[in-house]
Structure 1
Amino acid sequence: MAASPRALLISGHLVDAPGRPAERFPQRLASRVRDEMSAVFDEWAIGQGTTVITGGARGADIIGAEQAVLRGAHPVLCLALPVQELEGRSVELPGTDWLDRFHRLLPRADVRVLPGRAVAGDEVFARANQWMVETAHDLDPDPFALVVWDGKEGDGPLVIGWLEPVLASPSVHLWIPPLHHGDPTCDGVILQTFSDPLGTRFSGGVTALLPRQLEARLRSRSLALARLLQSLGYVGRCSLDFILVGDHLDDAAMLCVDCNARWGGAVSTSPPWPTHPSRHWDASATTSPHCWTRPCGSRRRGAARRGAAPRRHGPARP
């Protein structure tokens, strides 16, 4: 059996508050999440040698910290707000026992409050998430992560941090003709730019200046995924977003994190791409309907299964 991780980061949606328009993590799924999380803890042999880091909120955070206590692991609660303020914002839920469970955890956990709080509104939670990622990475160069997510867009940035240094975020732009009407082609590669220090707000793209071998690998991997999309019936433009992680570009790991349908072409800040007359093919002439899919499993720390069940992530670099 592989050694248990020195650090495990747990995050996820809050259990839904009353009156939420659309369900995301309803209270009735809490027991299912607990059982599945317990199974993951067993599989990863979480115990005395592991520090389990959570944000202390109702839902995955509290469940994960409780599982840590049960196994003799070291729970760390990285709170975005002082205890009483966090209780009102992210813990208490009428008709449930989340607040009592939070109070039982406090004397058993290493409780820390986000230092130097100088941000307004919900931005404090994004900062706290980044802080937890950094805390996990300080403890273990290959930390594990377990995230509870319903597979849909959240109320804030989906991902605010990675468990390895991110060197660049290239986007590979592709043209995919109908099946049996030619092979996919790569129109170009851009580097995505962001307007905030955490890299959560996309602002545009610039022409990529990457090492030749690295760009060749990006194009090759993207075309392989494009052929898969083509076989599923996708026709038109799309872009595949990657992150390059590691210490140096020469040996960076390439992680595909997103696929974007682009019927009208690339983003306006990108270089001009070739035109493709074949993109006016009549859909009725193809054997498969137009569709879009996400062809590859995301390696970003923030993905999980639908239905608020936990998704397992192994070490940041296998």
Structure 2
Amino acid sequence: MNTSRSNRVLLFSGHMIDAPNRESPRFPPELEPAVAKAIHDEIDALDTSASDIAISSGACGSDILFAEDVLARGIALRMHLPFSEAEFIDKSVSFADADWTGRFANVASRAQRFIATEIPGDTSAGEDPYERTNMRMLDEALSLGGNDVVLICVWNGQGGDGPGGTKHMVETVRAKGGEVRWIDIRRL
């Protein structure tokens, strides 16, 4: 780990683990070990330090794998949720299995959490909560890290199941000239 430079901000976005009834696989559960290793290796390649900051959401799958890895390194995690914790767990965690709910609780208890509905002025009528959360995470990353922000993403290179997914985050970071480190899930 590097201890001689200023803080770097690791921004993260990635696919959720597939629901049991998902028609076309994107992140099947059997890929979990390979995705966890790829995230770990990508963070290793960045020469991180405990003074760095990680920003992510907390959905089952790659968000939680990223959170577990950075927390194990002593990196502070700032977790953004688009809804109340209970609603977020219902929509983005518990559909996978009870293990993910427990893992979410573990990382959430060790993270600084930001819930969009609890932040004054953070909701607009008709605005997609997932896109809003992506923008909030990116804005925070830029305010904390300046030019030293890196987006790590676990992505299949395609649009998601709705607005505000990994594609949205990748496109937004690239449009702002940010660094994107893409873990292509199709190659794992």
**Aligned to 1:29, what secondary structure does the other structure show?**
helix
Distance in 1 between the 2:152 and 2:113 partners?
A: 20
Partner residue of 1:92? Answer: 94
1:64 and 2:83 equivalent? no
Which residue, out of 126, 151, 154, partners 1:148? Answer: 154
For normalisation by structure 2, the TM-score amounts to 0.82
Pick closer, same or farther for the CA change 1:308–1:120 going to 2, 3 Å. Answer: farther
1:305 and 2:184 equivalent? yes
**Greater C-alpha Rg:** 1
Pick closer, same or farther for the CA change 1:308–1:98 going to 2, 3 Å. Answer: farther
Distance in 1 between the 2:141 and 2:13 partners?
A: 12
Partner residue of 1:201? Answer: none
Which residue, out of 155, 159, 163, partners 2:168? Answer: 159
Distance in 2 between the 1:68 and 1:7 partners?
A: 11
Structure ranking higher on relative contact order (CA contacts 8 Å, 6+ apart):
2
**Aligned to 1:97, what secondary structure does the other structure show?**
helix
**Aligned to 1:111, what secondary structure does the other structure show?**
strand
More helix by share: 2
* Identity among equivalent pairs (%): 28
Distance in 2 between the 1:4 and 1:36 partners?
A: 25
Which residue, out of 24, 42, 45, partners 2:44? Answer: 42
* Structure 2: segments with no counterpart, 5+ residues: none
Partner residue of 1:32? Answer: 34
1:129 and 2:134 equivalent? yes
Shift in Å, 1:150: 1.4
Partner residue of 1:105? Answer: 107
Partner residue of 1:221? Answer: none
Name the aligned partner's letter for residue 153 of structure 1: G
Pick closer, same or farther for the CA change 1:300–1:23 going to 2, 3 Å. Answer: farther
> Across the two proteins, how many residue pairs are aligned to each other?
177
Of residues 42-51 and 57-66 in structure 1, the stretch that sits farther from structure 2 once superposed is 42-51
Distance in 2 between the 1:125 and 1:8 partners?
A: 19
Shift in Å, 1:36: 1.2
More strand by share: 1
Q: Is the 8 A contact 1:30 1:59 kept in 2?
A: yes
Note the 1:73-88 alignment, pairs <5 A: 73-88=75-90
* Structure 1: segments with no counterpart, 5+ residues: 167-244, 246-298, 310-318
| RMSD of aligned residue pairs (Cα, Å) | 2.6
